[in-house]
């Protein structure tokens, strides 16, 4: 029987995503000046105020307040009328040193003996549904908000947009899990004041359907474009007026958008957030590593859909175990348990091995903090950082290394494909 599946995304100006971006900017700056930094930073944003808290062990000294202000301004909160802007909001820092009780379980004389920074389970997922090996509903939700942010910054075709926004896409699937059509699109965007609410709603609806959606469709393959149809139910700013938004409308906290950050509700999630955590925290690094595994397995043709779970005990080097679920889509003559055994042969899941394989001790995290950590473009960029004393450092780094298909040949060899 056909079924419906829905995923959502939120913009870079959403309060929780502001908090994530500030926390990850702190991570990047600490790692840029001290690659061995241990950081767990949480951020709260509300009307006129940003609060930074967490634990840090680092040789770097940073102006954390200025880093936070820079992020807020880059997102687009630059006007006093938003009741939250980077130049005038208060920034309070309550960051202190990391507990030595935690650190003794992580740092070891031999780097390869590094223990996991916490207990827990982490999941990675991949599907052949899109070229990015991501669920389609989430991919479309992200693309709509990324394009909306471009329109906001251009200010030409749509000149009333403010930074806060959310999207949601519902897709109908066939019995054999193939997308058939888009059933509904929900999009709420913050905006400037209008003369009348009636004109406002009509204008926003018209611009979203006639300007934004065609720009998004133009980025898609023909078979995905065909899923758009005249019967789509559009819910554009369904509550009506959305002038008050951002941290003035809702308090934002680091780590509250873990499903937006991952797979939009497909697969599974271990519950640990990513932003604000250095890679010794397996909540982050192992989630990236399991995504890397899942994507390479699907790309190699092991299965059309793969979920990978790994679990750890704090301070322990070896993972507790690896679990694989192919949802009946396996293309090899092995059960999921046997596939998991072969995965253990291919991928070293010790925390230090993950950090090394994916080059995670580089300042690569700011880019992850909006529009999802998975399904993104793997590329090399140059980034510049400035310390509190004015010291400037420029680094060439590789973004989203967990999205590389660099193990496909090895997977094919081991699985006889």
DSSP state letters, 266-318: SS---S---TTB-TTSHHHHHHHHHHHHHHHHHHHTSBSEEEEEEEE-BT-SS
Is residue 277 marked as binding?
A: yes
Backbone angles phi, psi at 57, to 5 degrees: -125, 110
Is residue 250 marked as binding?
A: yes
This prediction has a pTM of 0.95
DSSP class of 114: P
Tell me: the pLDDT tens digits for 79-93? Answer: 999 999 999 999 999
What pLDDT sits at residue 195?
84
Q: Is the pLDDT of residue 101 over 60?
A: no
Please state, rounded to an integer, the average pLDDT across all residues of the chain: 94
Is residue 203 marked as binding?
A: no
Tell me: the pLDDT tens digits for 38-75? Answer: 999 999 999 999 999 999 999 999 999 999 999 999 99
Burial track 230-242 (b if 16+ CB lie within 10 A, e otherwise)? eebeeebbeeeeb
For 11-146, list the strands marked E by DSSP. Answer: 38-46, 49-57, 90-97, 120-127
Is residue 42 marked as binding?
A: yes
Is residue 94 marked as binding?
A: no
Is residue 164 marked as binding?
A: yes
What pLDDT sits at residue 97?
82
What pLDDT sits at residue 119?
86
Is residue 57 marked as binding?
A: no
What pLDDT sits at residue 106?
60
Is residue 305 marked as binding?
A: no
Is residue 98 marked as binding?
A: yes
Which one, of 142, 130, 298, lies nearest residue 224 by Cα? 130
SS3 217: helix
Tell me: the pLDDT tens digits for 194-217? Answer: 888 888 899 999 999 999 999 999
| Tokens linked to 327 | 């949802």
Tell me: the pLDDT tens digits for 126-153? Answer: 999 999 999 999 999 999 999 999 999 9
The C-alpha atoms of residue 160 and residue 155 are separated, in whole angstroms, by 8
Burial track 248-277 (b if 16+ CB lie within 10 A, e otherwise)? bbeebbbbbbbebbbbbbbbbbbebbbbbb
Is residue 184 marked as binding?
A: no
Reading phi first (left if > 0) and then psi (alpha if -120 to 50, else beta), residue 178 is in: beta
Under 8 Å between Cβ of 322 and 344:
yes
User: What domains can be seen in the chain, in order of their start residue?
Assistant: 3-10+135-245 (3.30.300.10)
Is residue 142 marked as binding?
A: no
- How many other C-beta atoms are found inside a 10 Å radius of the C-beta of residue 202? 13
What pLDDT sits at residue 103?
53
Tokens 């980077």, residue located: 86
Tell me: the pLDDT tens digits for 341-400? Answer: 999 999 999 999 999 999 999 999 999 999 999 999 999 999 999 999 999 999 999 999
Is residue 65 marked as binding?
A: no
């Amino acid at each position: 029987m056909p079924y419906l599946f829905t995923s959502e995304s939120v913009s870079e100006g959403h309060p929780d995503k502001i908090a994530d971006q500030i926390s990850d900017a702190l991570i990047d700056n600490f790692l840029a000046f001290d690659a061995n930094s241990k950081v767990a930073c949480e951020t709260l944003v509300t009307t006129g105020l940003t609060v930074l808290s967490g634990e840090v062990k680092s040789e770097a000294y940073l102006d954390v307040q200025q880093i936070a202000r820079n992020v807020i301004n880059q997102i687009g909160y630059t006007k006093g009328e938003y009741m939250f802007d980077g130049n005038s909001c208060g920034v309070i820092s309550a960051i202190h040193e990391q507990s030595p009780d935690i650190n003794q379980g992580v740092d070891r004389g031999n780097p390869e003996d590094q223990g996991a920074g916490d207990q827990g389970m982490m999941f990675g997922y991949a599907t052949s549904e899109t070229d990015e090996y991501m669920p389609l509903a989430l991919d479309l939700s992200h693309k709509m908000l990324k394009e909306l942010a471009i329109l906001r910054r251009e200010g030409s075709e749509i000149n009333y947009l403010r930074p806060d926004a959310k999207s949601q896409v519902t897709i109908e699937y066939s019995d054999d899990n193939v997308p058939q059509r888009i059933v509904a699109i929900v999009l709420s965007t913050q905006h400037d004041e209008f003369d009348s609410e009636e004109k406002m709603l009509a204008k926003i609806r018209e611009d979203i359907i006639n300007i934004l959606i065609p720009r998004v469709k133009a980025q898609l393959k023909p078979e995905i474009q065909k899923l758009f149809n005249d019967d789509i139910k559009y819910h554009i700013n369904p509550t009506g007026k959305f002038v008050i938004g951002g941290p003035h409308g809702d308090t934002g906290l680091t780590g509250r958008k873990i499903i937006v950050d991952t797979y939009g509700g497909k697969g599974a999630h271990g519950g640990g957030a990513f932003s604000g955590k250095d890679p010794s925290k397996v909540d982050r690094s192992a989630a990236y590593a399991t995504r890397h595994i899942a994507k390479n397995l699907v790309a190699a043709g092991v299965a059309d859909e793969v979920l990978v779970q790994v679990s750890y005990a704090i301070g322990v080097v070896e993972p507790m175990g690896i679990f694989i679920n192919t949802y009946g889509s396996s293309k090899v003559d092995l059960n999921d348990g046997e596939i998991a055994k072969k995965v253990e042969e291919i991928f070293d899941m010790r925390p230090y091995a993950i950090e090394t394989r994916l080059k995670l001790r580089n300042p690569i995290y700011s880019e992850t903090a909006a529009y999802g950590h998975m399904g993104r473009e793997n590329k090399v960029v140059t980034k510049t950082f400035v310390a509190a004393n004015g010291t400037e450092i420029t680094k060439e780094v590789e973004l989203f290394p967990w999205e590389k298909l660099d193990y496909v040949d090895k997977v094919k060899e081991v699985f006889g494909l």
